[in-house]
């Protein structure tokens, strides 16, 4: 059932490339303001599923809506309602902090007044006022990552997709990064996040685990641990991922 | 529109930050025009020659001073034996040796015929050819003067006129050539690299997830390079008119229109490369071998296409530079109008449309 409270809804969503079924009839629902962990080993089909939800890839069959828009016909509307941050660092190193913010806000068609006001607010929050006119290249990786997240939600999307956002970041910065995610979720943004760190999975409201293109488990971290009779998400993941027949890519 | 403008602005930031590349992009046409104009010339000027005068009479002395006086030759050395000739060539100092036999004037006066030998260094056949032609012309000139008073049974005089380029200046052909080359390099190579760089960085993905249409992304990428090319066209034309004395005989407006058409074709080709490759190295390699080499070899700028074997002549037709080179020569040097180049203009337009359709299609396929 799609309700006003649903951010993402997928029903037997499938993507095939020739004979290969990358995503095999997955069904799930993400509520508004929820932090939804999307887990799976490499090659399990996470990225393909995410690309379909972002409107980058057309599903082979099944149904899905993102922010209430259909992934087949309303991809343009979807793109306006979502933010995206990829595992690759996605700011321009040869542009300044301010120029990066301006650019990304600009391609979402935000007004100058909006950009100006929000940039000032954001720089203050990230304690980056002194670095506003410095090249992004000169910032430490942790700051870049936090900046990239802020840029991804700058245009105030309903949902933000984070594709392994904390790869290569130290534990302290990771913790700070998750504080930002919580803050964004509190302000009503739905978070859809993939990760390989099981401690991060614990931070999510609900977690789904993909194995060989299917969703094999979907529940709160606490409930998952109870179901699989283990103490940590790590063990849950290992129990499921070991069943995988598909080779990781 | 606002999206589009923020994108174009960002591109200018990229270009502006990379001072070294910008310097190369804007400096290259100036460098090339100057190098071709003053250093790499195939005109023969002040070539060093040697003279072996075994006669040393009035006739040989007159010829000698006339050779020396011409702007093509400088007498660098006097030889005194046949053995010295080869040595002089081996040192590489001289390009031509002129040998007068004994009793040159005597033979000329009494038998009405005399021989002079020209020995040229044909390790560079073009230069050797040109030098012997020039020397022969000077000698014939002298002969004409001394036979002026006598009646020869039959004479055919050839009179030559070099149309459009009476001084036979090399600049008339390399200015269009450099234009074709530089615009190609800036547009094809840089567009291909700049789009592929976004793929490598992962920023292309972010862009595709954004509401910005792919078509706009591509156009926004091309705009700065189109502007850079206009700057380059201007600097090449200014240099050729004011420094190299190559006039613009035809309509400047038409010339600029054709240059922009060619620029767009190159941009479209760069775009096409970028949709087919995923790394900057591959893009650069394809742009250089697929476009730059054919531009130099098959545009008619360095080597005349008429002399090539049939397969190469056929292939040269798909090189945009060939058509552009022809158009620029017709418009700029010969001063002809659109009536003379409409066919070539159509060919370029066709190429542009073909490449655009092809790249927009493959851009879409990648998204699916």
Sequence-ordered alpha helix ranges (H) in chain B: 2-17, 19-34, 58-69, 82-90, 104-111, 125-147, 171-184, 190-201, 203-209, 214-242, 252-276, 280-287, 293-298, 310-315, 320-328, 338-367
pLDDT number for residue A1: 45
Pick among A107, A155, A167 to test the B interface (most B CBs inside 10 A): A107
Q: For residue B156, tell me if it sits in a domain.
A: no
| Interchain CB distance below 8 Å, B211 and A79 | yes
pLDDT number for residue A204: 93
Picking from A17, A8, A58, A57, the residue whose alpha carbon sits closest to that of residue A158 is A8
Whether residue B119 sits in one domain with residue B207: no
| Interchain CB distance below 8 Å, B211 and A107 | yes
Question: Among all residues of chain A, which has the CA nearest to that of B12?
Answer: A95
Mean pLDDT lowest among A13-17, A80-84, B290-294: B290-294
Q: For residue B163, tell me if it sits in a domain.
A: no
Q: Would you tell me which residues 93-112 of chain B have a C-beta closer than 8 angstroms to some C-beta of chain A?
A: none
- Quote the CA–CA distance of B39 and A226 in Å, as a whole number: 83
| Domain hosting residue A148, numbered range | 6-241
The predicted complex's ipTM stands at: 0.82
Picking from B138, B151, B132, the residue whose alpha carbon sits closest to that of residue B44 is B132
Last residue of a domain, one of B112, B147, B182: B147
* Domain at B83, CATH number: 3.40.1710.10
pLDDT number for residue B150: 66
Type and span of the H or E element at A179: helix A171-186
What's the sign of the alpha-carbon dihedral B309, B314, B320, B322? positive
Q: For residue A248, tell me if it sits in a domain.
A: no
Whether residue B356 sits in one domain with residue B220: yes
Min Cα–Cα distance to chain A from B225, Å: 18
Question: Among all residues of chain B, which has the CA nearest to that of A98?
Answer: B10
Min Cα–Cα distance to chain A from B268, Å: 23
Type and span of the H or E element at A116: helix A112-125
CB atoms within 10 A of CB B66: 15
Q: For residue B160, tell me if it sits in a domain.
A: no
Environment class of B69 (CB within 10 Å of its CB; exposed 0-12, middle 13-18, buried 19+) = exposed
| Interchain CB distance below 8 Å, A102 and B7 | no
Q: In terms of pTM, does the model score above 0.80?
A: no
CB atoms within 10 A of CB A211: 22
**DSSP per-residue string spanning A161-175:** EEESTTTT--HHHHH
pLDDT number for residue A56: 84
Min Cα–Cα distance to chain A from B254, Å: 36
Number of domains within chain B? 2
pLDDT number for residue A3: 55
Tell me if chain A has a CB within 8 Å of the CB of B207.
yes
Environment class of A25 (CB within 10 Å of its CB; exposed 0-12, middle 13-18, buried 19+) = middle
Q: For residue B261, tell me if it sits in a domain.
A: yes
Q: For residue B162, tell me if it sits in a domain.
A: no
| Domain hosting residue B143, numbered range | 47-147
The mean pLDDT value for A13-26 works out to 92
Q: For residue A249, tell me if it sits in a domain.
A: no
Tell me if chain A has a CB within 8 Å of the CB of B19.
no
Q: For residue A236, tell me if it sits in a domain.
A: yes
Tell me if chain A has a CB within 8 Å of the CB of B278.
no
Whether residue B191 sits in one domain with residue B317: yes
| Interface of chain A toward chain B, CB-CB under 8 angstroms | 54-58, 76, 79-80, 82, 84-92, 94-95, 99, 102-109, 135, 161
| Interchain CB distance below 8 Å, A86 and B7 | no
Angle subtended by helix axes B214-242 and B338-367, to nearest 10: 150
Whether residue B51 sits in one domain with residue B21: no
Whether residue B105 sits in one domain with residue B221: no
Tokens 């690759």, located at residue: A88
Picking from B171, B135, B128, B134, the residue whose alpha carbon sits closest to that of residue B41 is B171
Whether residue B335 sits in one domain with residue B264: yes
Number of domains within chain A? 1
Look up residue A97 and give its two tokens.
């902090």
Whether residue B303 sits in one domain with residue B204: yes
Whether residue B175 sits in one domain with residue B67: no
- Quote the CA–CA distance of A202 and A181 in Å, as a whole number: 13
Tell me if chain A has a CB within 8 Å of the CB of B21.
no
Whether residue B268 sits in one domain with residue B354: yes
- Quote the CA–CA distance of A22 and B218 in Å, as a whole number: 30
pLDDT number for residue B149: 62
Picking from B332, B336, B341, B337, the residue whose alpha carbon sits closest to that of residue B247 is B332
| Interchain CB distance below 8 Å, A107 and B3 | yes
CB atoms within 10 A of CB A136: 20
Q: For residue B100, tell me if it sits in a domain.
A: yes
Tokens 């919580």, located at residue: A182
Look up residue B303 and give its two tokens.
């080597």
The tens place of each residue's pLDDT in chain B, 368 residues long, gives 788 899 999 999 999 998 988 998 899 889 988 887 777 666 677 888 999 999 889 889 999 999 999 888 989 889 999 888 888 888 878 889 999 999 988 888 888 888 899 999 888 888 888 889 889 988 988 888 887 766 667 777 777 787 887 777 777 888 888 889 888 888 898 888 988 988 888 888 888 888 888 778 888 888 999 999 999 999 999 998 998 888 899 999 999 999 999 999 999 999 899 888 888 999 999 988 888 888 888 888 888 888 889 999 999 999 999 999 999 999 998 899 999 899 999 999 999 999 988 888 877 655 54
Q: For residue B217, tell me if it sits in a domain.
A: yes
Whether residue B59 sits in one domain with residue B28: no
């Amino acid at each position: 059932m799609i309700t006003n409270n649903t951010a993402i809804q997928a029903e037997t969503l499938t993507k095939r490339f020739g004979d290969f079924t990358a995503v095999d009839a997955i069904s799930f629902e993400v509520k508004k303001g929820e932090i939804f962990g999307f887990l799976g080993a490499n090659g399990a089909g996470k990225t393909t599923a995410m690309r379909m939800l972002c409107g980058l890839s057309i599903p082979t069959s099944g149904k899905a809506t993102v922010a209430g828009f259909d992934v087949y016909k309303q991809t343009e509307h979807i793109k306006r309602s979502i933010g995206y941050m990829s595992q690759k660092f996605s700011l321009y190193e040869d542009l300044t902090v301010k120029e990066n913010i301006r650019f990304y806000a600009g391609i979402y068609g935000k007004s100058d007044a909006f950009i100006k006001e929000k940039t000032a607010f954001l720089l203050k929050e990230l304690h980056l006022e002194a670095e506003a006119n410095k090249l992004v290249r000169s910032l430490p990786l942790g700051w870049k990552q936090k900046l990239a997240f802020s840029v991804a939600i700058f245009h105030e999307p309903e949902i933000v997709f984070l594709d392994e956002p904390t790869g290569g970041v130290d534990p302290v910065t990771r913790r700070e990064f998750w504080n930002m995610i919580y803050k964004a979720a509190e302000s009503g943004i739905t978070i859809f996040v993939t990760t390989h760190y099981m401690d991060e999975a614990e931070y999510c409201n609900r977690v789904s685990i993909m194995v060989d293109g299917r969703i094999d488990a979907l529940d709160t971290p606490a409930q998952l641990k109870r179901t699989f009779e283990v103490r940590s998400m790590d063990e849950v993941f290992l129990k499921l991922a070991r069943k995988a027949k598909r080779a990781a890519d | 529109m606002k999206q589009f403008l923020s994108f174009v602005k960002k591109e200018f930031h990229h270009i502006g930050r990379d001072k070294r590349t910008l310097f190369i992009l804007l400096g290259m046409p100036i460098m090339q025009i100057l190098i071709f104009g003053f250093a790499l010339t195939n005109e023969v000027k002040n070539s060093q020659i040697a003279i072996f005068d075994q006669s040393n009479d009035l006739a040989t002395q007159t010829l000698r001073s006339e050779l020396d006086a011409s702007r093509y030759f400088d007498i660098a050395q006097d030889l005194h034996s046949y053995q010295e000739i080869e040595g002089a060539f081996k040192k590489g100092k001289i390009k031509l040796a002129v040998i007068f036999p004994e009793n040159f004037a005597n033979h000329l006066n009494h038998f009405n015929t005399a021989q002079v030998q020209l020995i040229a260094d044909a390790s560079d056949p073009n230069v050797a050819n040109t030098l012997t032609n020039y020397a022969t012309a000077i000698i014939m000139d002298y002969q004409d003067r001394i036979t002026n008073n006598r009646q020869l049974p039959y004479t055919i005089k050839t009179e030559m006129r070099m149309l459009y380029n009476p001084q036979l200046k090399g600049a008339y052909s390399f200015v269009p050539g450099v234009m074709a080359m530089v615009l190609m390099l800036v547009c094809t190579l840089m567009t291909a690299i700049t789009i592929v760089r976004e793929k490598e960085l992962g920023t292309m993905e972010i862009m595709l997830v954004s509401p910005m249409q792919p078509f706009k992304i591509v156009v926004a990428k091309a705009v700065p390079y189109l502007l850079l090319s206009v700057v380059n066209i201007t600097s090449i034309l200014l240099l050729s008119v004011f420094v190299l004395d190559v006039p613009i005989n035809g309509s400047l407006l038409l010339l600029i229109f054709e240059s922009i058409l060619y620029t767009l074709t190159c941009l479209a080709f760069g775009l096409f490369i970028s949709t087919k490759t995923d790394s900057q190295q591959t893009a650069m390699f394809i742009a250089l071998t697929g476009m730059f080499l054919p531009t130099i070899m098959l545009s008619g700028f360095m080597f005349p296409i008429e002399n090539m074997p049939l397969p190469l002549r056929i292939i040269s037709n798909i090189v945009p530079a060939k058509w552009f080179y022809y158009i620029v020569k017709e418009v700029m040097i010969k001063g002809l109008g659109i009536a003379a180049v409409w066919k070539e203009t159509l060919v370029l337009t066709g190429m542009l449309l073909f490449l655009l359709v092809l790249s927009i299609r493959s851009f879409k396929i990648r998204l699916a």
